[in-house]
Amino acid sequence: MLKWFQADLHVHTCLSPCADLTMSPKRIVTKARDKKLDMIGITDHNSAENVEATIRAAQGKNITVLRGMEIASVEEAHVIALFDTAASVMKLQSIVYEHLTPGENKDGVFGEQIIANEFDEVERYNERLLIAATTMTLTEIVKKIHMLGGVTIASHIDRESFSIIGQLGFIPPDLELDAVEISSYARKDEILKQFPDVARFPMITASDAHFLDDIGMTTTSFLLAEPTIVEMRMAFMNQNGRKVEIGEQDEYQHYKH
């Protein structure tokens, strides 16, 4: 039986240097449940080291936490990767770390990169330069994600910085994205008018939350049998009744909770 799941698939934790220090695993889960979300994606910059703590914090809370990260390509465009399994996201993390710009994070310049546990206690700090770009191309990143069984979503394509369109001016025709994301303040009809080529991709919207109050400010609804990457991929492809709809779908709320 299919049902609607309300999702915010782009959430940063205190591991991302640009995120607020209150973005800890337990607080994120609490805020997500307050916002009536069914799924969240944990997508820190070039790292997944706070994902499992967030999953542990969500146990028994009736919410699914998808494993992910937001990777910066050599073109300085951001791509979201989402996975079902820890093995897949940690393998991608190893690949990203191998291709990350050398150097150490400067807390006073970029912000702290905190690795926390499910009780919101600081475990340690990540000293890598997570804010920087990798040496991998967009094509290489997308291929790696698919090879590991994940889905790929181009981040905030309407933004002038750190987006595929902002950096390249277009989406390469051979780039096999599963979906594209528009920012919380963008409108689908306006995006399609400005960038007609985007119509060939499924579209989501997400908060790109760096602060607790941002979580769930904009959402995407998925009609799925269960909240998994396999089901989400079918929704992106509009297969077997699975669907994806942008924004809060008031008429669907009776399916939920």
State the CATH number of the domain containing residue 131: 3.20.20.140
DSSP string, 136-180: --HHHHHHHHHHTT-EEEE--TTSSSSSHHHHHSS--TT---SEE
pLDDT in tens, 186-242: 888 889 998 888 999 999 999 999 999 999 999 999 999 999 999 999 999 999 999
N-to-C CA span, the chain: 15
Average pLDDT for the chain: 94
Domain-located, residue 15:
yes
pTM for the full predicted model: 0.93
Quote the pLDDT of residue 45: 98
Domain-located, residue 256:
no
Other beta carbons within 10 Å of 200:
10
Share of the chain above pLDDT 90, in %: 88
Residue range of the domain that includes 32? 3-249
Point out the least confidently predicted range of 26-30, 138-142, 250-254.
Answer: 250-254
Point out the least confidently predicted range of 54-63, 121-130, 186-195, 218-227.
Answer: 186-195
Domain-located, residue 255:
no
Domain-located, residue 254:
no
Number of domains forming the structure of the chain: 1
Q: Nearest-CA neighbor of 113 among 99, 98, 97, 136?
A: 97
Domain-located, residue 221:
yes
Residue 19: pLDDT over 50? yes
What's the pLDDT band for 182 if we cut at 50, 70, 90? very high
DSSP β-ladder status, 3-11 and 39-42? parallel
Residue 250: pLDDT over 60? no
pLDDT in tens, 72-92: 999 999 999 999 999 999 999
Residue 254: pLDDT over 60? no
Residue 257: pLDDT over 80? no
Residue 248: pLDDT over 80? no
Domain-located, residue 191:
yes
Domain-located, residue 257:
no
